[in-house]
Structure 1
Amino acid sequence: MKISVIILISLISPIFCSIGDNLPEFQECVKLCQSYKCQNKKIHSQLTNDFNKHNVIFPLNYLFFWDCNSDCDYKCQQIITSIRSHNNQPMVKFHGKWPFIRFFGITEIASTIFSLLNFHVNYTNFKNVNRQYRKTGNKMYLQYLYLLTISMVGWIFSTIFHIRDTSFTEILDYYGASFIIFTNFYVILVRYYNIYSSRELYIVQGVFFVAYCLHVLKMTYNWDYSYNMIFHLIIGISGMVLWILHSLRVARTYSSNYQVLNNSISILPYETKILTKLNFLGISKSRNIPYLPIFLNLWLIAVMGFEIGEFTPWMKLIDSHSLWHLGSWVPQLIWYDWNIWDLEVDRALHK
């Protein structure tokens, strides 16, 4: 459910040529800067003073592969944006992105921080799930560990991409996100249909891995945004539907066994952990727990509005996409607590 929707929006936004790219003043600025800075030509222009004013270069800029040409591109984005602001003209995008202020070589500081938050919560969840796996030996916990591992790698790729946007880091971000979506669908398929025998697991894993490889090959030889959008919408929505159906099934099971589960000492620690977090929202009732995947899906659908209703970055730092990353972090604070609770309820009923 969650990861497929978390990454879905960032996968379906192709980068077209932006208004800023075609501005004659921007093109002239880049040409002059590259001649003045990169080719050591003496050019007498008012813009040369602006180049020097924006010439704060930190060692980390070189670490993140800001060469002279890309640095000129960045400086000219800032110069043209400042001029447009002074003339009460709207901010425009360059190369499909807003002209963010660079911090120590980092292109998008807010999205970088929020991507790291997503990585951290997955890392914390990995430790919790791994503890349960070692305690119970339940194979489903192992499937969640696969998903968490791939999610951490995916969020590392997202962080790298927002630190420095290049064609290579963009590819890493897309392929990492694709792998997360595939694995999320695989995990809910295993959970919903209770595919726990080793032979069946190997078959399903093999099918998904081959499908992912074919997808990567297709995108490598023909980078098609429309195909990528449709493909991931199908996988993502299918995963969401299965999570909701699973939630409803758990709700029926919980309701029919409420007296037993409500007095179960073995379930109490997991239930208490969830209720403690839900208490901040004022909905800390045991009967609400089974429906959490539905609520979390609705939350993610709601925060998709940040991507749909895009706005000019606040202080050239925080844009709608960065807030989408922040919004996607919230459900993960409780999502694996619910998955642990779900498996422990199942174990308590089948002892």
Structure 2
Amino acid sequence: MDGRRPTYRFHPGRWRTAALSVSLLLLILATTATASSGDRDSIYTNCVQKCRFTSCRNQPAADESLPLSLRLLQWTCPQNCQYECMHDLTSLNVQTGERVQQFHGKWPFIRLWGVQEPASVLFSVLNGWMHFRGYRKLRTLSPRWYPMRRVLLLNALLGVNAWIWSTVFHARDFPITEKLDYFSAIGSLLMGSYLALTRAFELYRDPATSTPTRRGLAYAMLAFYAAHVSYLTFWPFDYGYNMKAGIVVGAVANLAWVSWAVRNWRTRPYAWKIVVMVVAITAAMALEVLDFPPWMWVLDAHALWHAATIPLVRFYYEFLVDDVRWEVRIGKGKGKVAVQ
């Protein structure tokens, strides 16, 4: 061996074919969301009807009578009736030993100052802060000539954006905030996969040969994103498909990083970090797949998943910072490769 790195070349058409194949597979595996059992419970529906009749007949005035914290987050009298009746039925179910039911696709959380899921809001804010810290570090450490600089910074900013919308959605669930949360999340995952594939297979070392591949990969991911958003916008929102799409896109990034670590673990002392990150994030993902009633009506599996990702996001950026430092040290005195 002469010590030179092998060149990995991929035809752009293969990326488009792969993206189309994954899209078709996800559509086949898609499942249709159904109404929650609590919505159909006669005790709940009768309670809501009675509350609306007695408390919300003059709705503008009834809305104005709600506490300020509820009005600031756009709660209405009928929605407040749903919240109160949800917890009335939940208390009855607990007292009689029956199972806790979901209502409108959610567990019966206790709101705080009008915030629907306070634990998930707090953890979303902390995740966003970790991405912002990573952005600042990468912006400071990566010189402008470093080919991966723009990809790294855009990846971090899309991470911040995704957690901002996660915060908004968990604070107040509207159809628009739900879509903004899910669409920004899949966008961030796609950018993370683009970063992983570009870095793992060094699609920036030789601009003359790698630029068409990078562009083909970017176009394929943009096409996938457009198809994903269109499907979930113009057809009934399919929660099962959305989760499967996120898992598949995340798995692509994980496999790319593992392949990079296998090739570099002897020469890069920090390569182990990304393997630990992949293993930990995969294990933590079990919390997202699991589903159980919230502990103390605050902490459910989804909130715990958000809590688990906080230290993992920090660890992820520690790896990226180490990689930038190593690459910049190698690049000094050996020429600067420009991004095409």
What band does the TM-score fall into relative to the shorter chain?
0.7 to 0.9
- Counterpart of 2:291 in structure 1 is 310
TM-score by length of 1: 0.76
Structure 1 residues 94 and 225, CA, compared in 2 at 3 Å: closer, same or farther? Answer: closer
Matching residue's letter, 2:123: F
| Alignment map for 1:138-157 (pairs within 5 Å) | 138-157=146-165
- Counterpart of 1:102 in structure 2 is 111
Match of 2:196 among 184, 188, 202: 188
Structure 1 residues 162 and 85, CA, compared in 2 at 3 Å: closer, same or farther? Answer: same
Q: Distance in 2 between matches of 1:24 and 1:182?
A: 43
Matching residue's letter, 1:215: H
Match of 2:170 among 158, 162, 169: 162
**Local SS of the residue matching 2:88:** helix
Q: Please state how far the C-alpha of 1:13 moved relative to its aligned partner.
A: 9.4
| Alignment map for 1:1-351 (pairs within 5 Å) | 16-40=34-58, 57-133=66-142, 135=143, 137-196=145-204, 197=207, 199-200=211-212, 201-202=214-215, 204-222=217-235, 223-254=237-268, 287=269, 289-350=270-331, 351=334
Moved more, 32-41 or 91-100: 32-41
- Structure with the bigger percentage of helix: 1
**Local SS of the residue matching 1:253:** coil
- 1:208-239, Cα deviation, whole Å (9 max, x unpaired): 33332232123222244454344433322111
* Contact 2:31–2:240 under 8 Å retained in 1: no
Matching residue's letter, 1:118: N
* Contact 2:141–2:325 under 8 Å retained in 1: no
Q: Distance in 2 between matches of 1:208 and 1:301?
A: 22
Q: Please state how far the C-alpha of 1:64 moved relative to its aligned partner.
A: 1.4
> Where does structure 2 lack aligned partners over 5 or more consecutive residues?
1-29, 335-340
- 1:43-96, Cα deviation, whole Å (9 max, x unpaired): xxxxxxxxxxxx994312112111111111111111111222233333221112
* Contact 2:120–2:303 under 8 Å retained in 1: yes
Q: Please state how far the C-alpha of 1:136 moved relative to its aligned partner.
A: 5.3
- Counterpart of 1:259 in structure 2 is none
Moved more, 120-129 or 78-87: 78-87
Q: Please state how far the C-alpha of 1:341 moved relative to its aligned partner.
A: 1.1
Q: Distance in 2 between matches of 1:228 and 1:187?
A: 21
**Local SS of the residue matching 2:295:** coil
> Where does structure 1 lack aligned partners over 5 or more consecutive residues?
1-11, 42-54, 255-286
- 1:250-269, Cα deviation, whole Å (9 max, x unpaired): 21333xxxxxxxxxxxxxxx
* Contact 1:126–1:148 under 8 Å retained in 2: yes
Aligned residues: CA RMSD: 2.6
TM-score by length of 2: 0.79
* Contact 1:313–1:320 under 8 Å retained in 2: yes
Q: Please state how far the C-alpha of 1:292 moved relative to its aligned partner.
A: 1.2
Moved more, 292-301 or 204-213: 204-213
Matching residue's letter, 1:92: Q
**Local SS of the residue matching 2:148:** helix
Q: Percent of pairs identical after alignment?
A: 28
Q: Please state how far the C-alpha of 1:31 moved relative to its aligned partner.
A: 0.5
- 1:269-309, Cα deviation, whole Å (9 max, x unpaired): xxxxxxxxxxxxxxxxxx5x311111111112222232344
* Contact 1:58–1:104 under 8 Å retained in 2: no
* Contact 1:132–1:141 under 8 Å retained in 2: no
